[in-house]
Amino acid sequence: MPSTLAQVYTRANQGIRAPAVSVEVHLSQGLPCLNIVGLPEAAVRESKDRVRSALINSGFDFPDGRITVNLAPADLPKEGGRFDLPIALGILVASGQLPGEVLENKEFLGELALSGHLRPVRAVLPASLACKETNRALILPEQNASVAAMVSSVTIIGTQNLTEVCAYLREKIHIEPAKADQNGCKTHYPDLSEVRGQEQAKRALLIAAAGSHHLLLFGPPGTGKTMLASRLPGLLPPLTESEALDVAAIHSLTSSAMDTVWQRPFRTPHHSSSSVSLVGGGSIPQPGEISFAHHGVLFLDEMPEFARTALEMLREPLENGEVVITRAKGQECFPARFQLVGAMNPCPCGYLGDSQRNCRCSPDQVRRYRNKLSGPLLDRIDLQIEVPSQTIQTIMEPAVQNNDSEETSSEKLRDLVIKARKKQLARQEKINCQLSSRELFEVCALGEKEKGLIARASEHLQISTRGLHRILRVARTIADLAGSPEVLSPHLGEAMQYRQLDRQSVQ
């Protein structure tokens, strides 16, 4: 007597989490119909037509009678076509066409075509991470297999169609577990040695990379601000396995495949981007650019042109490393530990203080332009660096003569960054930008000379308490790069030089 009840395990998609879902299929007497319950969205309700055609076209019998499919837990919203494969397998087990014991210790994901072929789905990496905790194998479309296989110690089986899945479950064929795509481990970043001149800005990039400090570049158009910003990911240490999984998990929410998963993200949203696209949101909470830049760099070119409301929404994520989005349908917390790099002109026309062209802006226009960046937001940006115009001689000078190719190559500077970060992790188990106020004063114990220096600078520059903490963090990073166990006056002096917008506002 065939069983009329089947249970198949799968995973839903809720933010960067993959809650467990049990697909319960019951076959009973009555008029032929297929009902799906358990808070299904439209795409899930439509799966009954896809599943019926897929079963018939794969050579299976679609059972006559009343079929009830329950997606438990009932109060968890279900969306997408990811439940097609588990529903089809549940019907096969309930109708006796497939033994129920073959589903033990396995989970299934996949959208079915009418022909029975499997189509890729989104957010497979969170499901793979969840399978690692339950010690179950994951069977899913072949196109998703290499991404899901990034999680070690999980058996990932990639299949092409429903017939192949059933043959594998009956042990009629053997499918090798999928392996992560090794091509994604190769990273390609533009090299800093390609930028001529701008030595102070290059030094600021090195410090920003070593301590994961936020950076603002300001100067006339065409001076290399964008080139400098695009070189920052190449100075950062390679992603660890845990960081790469975090990055890939977020990107898998919007894509069924991932390229260069081991490369640090570099996101460059346009200045017309809305608050939702930048921070995240929607009726069903989705991540924004700050989450897609997690463990990477968020570059805001023409920063004052962004909507002020969008910029102000960055303040909390810059401090907390996450963003919490609350909507009527639920609340989601997305990681957002990114490194902010902004670029702006010194004035609306762009040539204030330029030695080559005259500025046409009035003092009121300059003030209104700079006021688009609020004081609280600027306080959270550790390094504020001017990128001035370069002379033709500097630009045309061969790289060999000024040693740019050697001294400022990304590979050589990355080694310095890695050494500095190792010192930070050995000393405080976190990098300098993540130090709390209490931890900061413990690792930056200043002598009397250094205390007097920073007190005078704070009074002269009118630096807030938060700005003071930023200076101390940068000074600690400069000391780490110099190999000094203590923060000395030269380190503090250099850190203060990187608050150039503060000095100009006071003047």
d(CA 267, CA 294): 10
Per-residue pLDDT for 218 more than 80? Answer: yes
pLDDT of 258 reads: 54
pLDDT of 91 reads: 96
Per-residue pLDDT for 354 more than 50? Answer: yes
Amino acid residing at 357: R
pLDDT of 332 reads: 86
pLDDT average, residue stretch 333-343: 94
How do strand 215-218 and strand 339-344 relate by DSSP bridges? Answer: parallel
Domains and CATH numbers, the chain: 5-180 (3.30.230.10), 192-270+279-301+326-355+374-424 (3.40.50), 435-507 (no CATH)
Per-residue pLDDT for 461 more than 90? Answer: no
Q: Which of 85-89, 284-288, 461-465 has the lowest mean pLDDT?
A: 461-465
What is the SS3 assignment for 280? strand
Instruction: Assign residue 119 a region (left: φ > 0; alpha: ψ between -120 and 50; beta: otherwise).
Output: beta
Model confidence over 321-331: pLDDT tens digits? 999 988 776 78
DSSP string, 186-230: ------GGGS-S-HHHHHHHHHHHHHT--EEEE-STTSSHHHHHH
> How is residue 276 written in tokens?
């939702």
Per-residue pLDDT for 235 more than 50? Answer: yes
Report which of residues 458 and 260 the model is more confident about. 458
pLDDT of 506 reads: 40
pLDDT of 7 reads: 96
Per-residue pLDDT for 507 more than 50? Answer: no
When the pLDDT of each residue in the chain is averaged and rounded to a whole number, the result is: 89
Contacts of 123 (CB under 8 A, 6+ apart): 13, 18, 249, 252, 253
pLDDT average, residue stretch 470-491: 93
Model confidence over 28-37: pLDDT tens digits? 988 899 999 9
Contacts of 47 (CB under 8 A, 6+ apart): 36, 81, 83, 84, 87, 112
Per-residue pLDDT for 185 more than 90? Answer: no
Cβ–Cβ under 8 Å, residues 11 and 130: yes
Per-residue pLDDT for 165 more than 90? Answer: yes
pLDDT of 121 reads: 93
pLDDT average, residue stretch 154-180: 94
d(CA 290, CA 335): 8
pTM score of the predicted model: 0.86
Per-residue pLDDT for 66 more than 80? Answer: yes
Report which of residues 1 and 152 the model is more confident about. 152
Contacts of 26 (CB under 8 A, 6+ apart): 4, 5, 67, 68, 70, 94
d(CA 475, CA 393): 33
> How is residue 401 written in tokens?
């003569």
Q: pLDDT-derived band of residue 234, with 50, 70 and 90 as boundaries?
A: very high
Per-residue pLDDT for 3 more than 60? Answer: no
